[in-house]
Structures are given as C-alpha cells and as structure tokens.
Chains A and B, each alone.
Chain A
Amino acid sequence: MDWTFNNDMPIYSQLVDKIKLSIVSGQLPPGEKLNTVRELAAEARVNPNTMQRAFQELEREGLVFSQRSSGRYVTEDMEVIMEAKEAMAQKYIRDFMDSMEKLGYTGEEIISLVRGGKEEDKK
C-alpha cells in the first residue's frame, strides 16, 4: 500500500480511505485476516492510536470486523463492500465534475468528452 499523506485532511481519514480502496478493489479480499494495528502502524509510519481510530471507523461502516481473540478481518458481506465501492465512485465523480465545471464545461459536454477520451483509448 502507498502510505503517503496529504496535508489538508486528518491522517486517520486518509488511512480509512486507503484501506477502503484496498478492500473495494479486491486487494484485500473478503474474509482476509488483517495485520495488527501495531504492525500496520509501523508499516505506515503512523501513530498506533491513529491507526486504531481508522479501524474503528471502518468497523463502524461494517467493512471490517474483529473477533475477540483471533484478530481483525475484512467483511464477507459483499453488499457492504459494493455499497462502499459505489460511494467512493460517487465521490470521485463528484470531485471530477466539480473540477470540470470549474474549467467551464457543462454536464453534456463532459460526458461526450469522456466518451471521446474512451474511444481514443481504444484505438
């Protein structure tokens, strides 16, 4: 995982986003056992309390669950994962649309531009 961080957001929420991305993209498959908070904190070079907070957030969203003795796992509930994936996709689209609108494009123009871009890619 890439552990670089932006300056304008809390570190824990950036950790949530990174782990979430790994889960929805399948990099961390459903049911996979996760490393301990301590190991992950060391890997990401962040404070263990911050990593803990990120996992609490992910647990709240239902993407991971912890079993008292054996550790933390990625959820096996595909519905939750797909929901998270969709939410992320929506957010990316919103950000993208915002940027395009700032450039002066309207909704239809953007769609045709994207379609054109896709066609280009295919050739």
Chain B
Amino acid sequence: MTATFECKGLSKNFGSTQALEDVSFSIAPGRVVGLLGPNGSGKTTLIKLANGLLTPSEGELLICGGKPGEESKAAVSYLPDKTCMPLWMNPKQLMDFFQDFYQDFDRQRAEDMLRRLGLDEKQRLRQMSKGTREKVQLIMVMSRKAKLYLLDEPIGGVDPATRDYILDTIIRNYDPEASVVISTHLISDVEKILDEVLFINRGRIMLQASVDDIRQQYGKSVDEYFREVFKC
C-alpha cells in the first residue's frame, strides 16, 4: 500500500532560519496521526509543504506517491489554521464552490452537518462569529472524501462542545483508505482518537510511535509523556 504522506530527508529554510531539518516519516492509509509539537516547531511549515504552498529546500515529499501538484491537491483536504473562506460568501455559495472544484465533495454530507449544527445556509460568513466560521470551514473540509486530511489546529480556538463535535466528526468520517493528520498542541483532547503521534521540535521529528505503545511503555498518557519530553 502506498503511503498517503511520506517525507524523505525533507528540509526547509527561510533565509538563514531552518524551519525543518532532515524530516523523514511515512503515514499509511487508515491512520489518524497527531502532529504534536510546541509553538514554532515546524508543524505548519510541514503542512504547508504538503499542500504545495511552500517548496522544499531539500529532500522529497510525496502525497499518495506523487509530488505536491494539481493531482495531489485533488486528493488532499486541508484545514488551514485561519479562516480562508471568502467572508462575503454564505455556506450555500461555499458548497457550490467546493462542488465545482472537488469531485469528491459530498454535498449531502455538508448539508446534513450544517443542519445538525443549526447553521443557516444563507447567512454570510462575515456575519458569523469566529467560532462559527471555523465550524463552517471544518464542515467543508470534512465533507470531502479525500485520501489525506491535513487539519492544522482544528480545535485551537473553539469551545469544548464544538471541540467534541469536531472530534466526533473526524471519527464518524473515518475511512480505512484515508489518513488524517491533526496538528495541535492540545494533546489530551485528541489523544483518544489518534493511532500514532509524531513529535516535532525545532524542525526535527523526535519520535513516531503509536499512542498505545507509548502508554504501554511509559505507563503514562501521551500528553504526560509529551510534557516530560518538552519540559522547559
């Protein structure tokens, strides 16, 4: 089986600052992976590289076996760490937009999720609160049947109820052929839904291990183990 997301000796520098250094790992289909690291550790840079928004300085990055490009973009569903949907649009217009560009967009699923959260299809994003916008954005991203979901801080700025809803959505949409990468520093919240974790610090991968292996080996949760590893 081809890895959905693979890096081989990947490095990225911005001028003299090294954002990623010799990163190598591979994620198999069906895995839910936590990309965990302190702020500024290179999580977002890695995700941007996978989306073709940045170009590697060295090494290689493969999405479903191919370099980032038009083909990979059709297979990747990306949730950026900020609102990127045009604010003048309403959810209905957004669904039209996604339906036009992504063949794997499931409009029915999006409409169901909007209804379940009690969101108005006709309300412009501009008139919504920041949290509501994030929900709409997540619904669009999760309504695709992609091969790789890259979720950058999906639970960063939302209330606990929404956080639960987001995690439920990820579990409910689980597809054994697709992988999910969740970047976050709120580990205890996502730990239960992860298969594996990637610890990243200062642009380097420190560890790739399964959640239950960490618990078995160290007798503590990934959250506790993370705190120990990254103690200031």
Q: Contact residues of A with B, CB < 8 Å?
A: 5, 7-13, 38, 41-42, 44-50, 53
Q: Is the CB of A47 within 8 A of B32?
A: yes
Chain B residues whose C-beta falls within 8 Å of the C-beta of A47 in the assembled complex: 32, 171, 174, 192-195, 211
B193 touches A10 (CB 8 A): no
- Closest Cβ–Cβ distance, residue B33 to chain A (whole Å): 10
Q: How large is the interface on B (under 10, 10 to 19, 20 to 34, 35 or more residues)?
A: 20 to 34
CB-CB < 8 A to A12: which residues of B? Answer: 212
Known: A10-B216, A12-B212, A38-B174. A45 touches B194 (CB 8 A): no
In contact, A42 and B32 (Cβ under 8 angstroms): no
- 6 tightest Cβ-Cβ pairs between the two chains A and B: A10-B212, A7-B221, A10-B215, A46-B192, A48-B174, A8-B219
Which residues in window 99-116 of B have CB below 8 A to A?
Answer: none
Considering only CB atoms, which chain A residue lies closest to B223 in the complex? A7
Closest residue of chain A to B169 (Cβ to Cβ) is A42
Is the CB–CB distance between A41 and B216 below 8 Å?
Answer: no
Interface residues of B in 4-57 (CB under 8 A from A): 30-32
Q: List 24 A-B contacts (CB under 8 A).
A: A5-B192, A7-B220, A7-B224, A8-B220, A9-B215, A10-B211, A10-B215, A11-B192, A11-B212, A11-B215, A12-B212, A13-B212, A45-B167, A45-B168, A45-B171, A46-B171, A46-B193, A47-B171, A47-B174, A47-B192, A47-B194, A47-B211, A48-B171, A49-B195
* Binding site secondary structure of chain A: helix
Q: How far is the CA of A85 from the CA of B216 in the complex (A)?
A: 24
**Are A42 and B171 touching (Cβ within 8 A)?**
yes
A32 to B220, CA, bound (A): 34
B164 within 8 A of A: yes
Residue on B nearest A39 in the bound complex, by CB:
B172
Q: State in angstroms the CA–CA spacing of A38 and B30 once bound together.
A: 13
A83 to chain B minimum Cβ distance, whole angstroms, is 25
Question: In the complex, what distance in Å separates the CA atom of A44 from the CA atom of B224?
Answer: 21
Residue of A nearest to B171 (CB): A42
The CA-CA distance from A5 to B193 in the complex, in Å, is: 12
CA distance A53 to B211 in the complex (A): 13
- Decide if B171 touches A41 in the complex (CB within 8 Å): yes
Please tell me which one of the listed residues A11, A13, A38, A49 contacts residue B32 in the complex, with CB atoms under 8 A apart.
Answer: A49
| Complexed CA–CA distance, A22 and B56 (Å) | 52
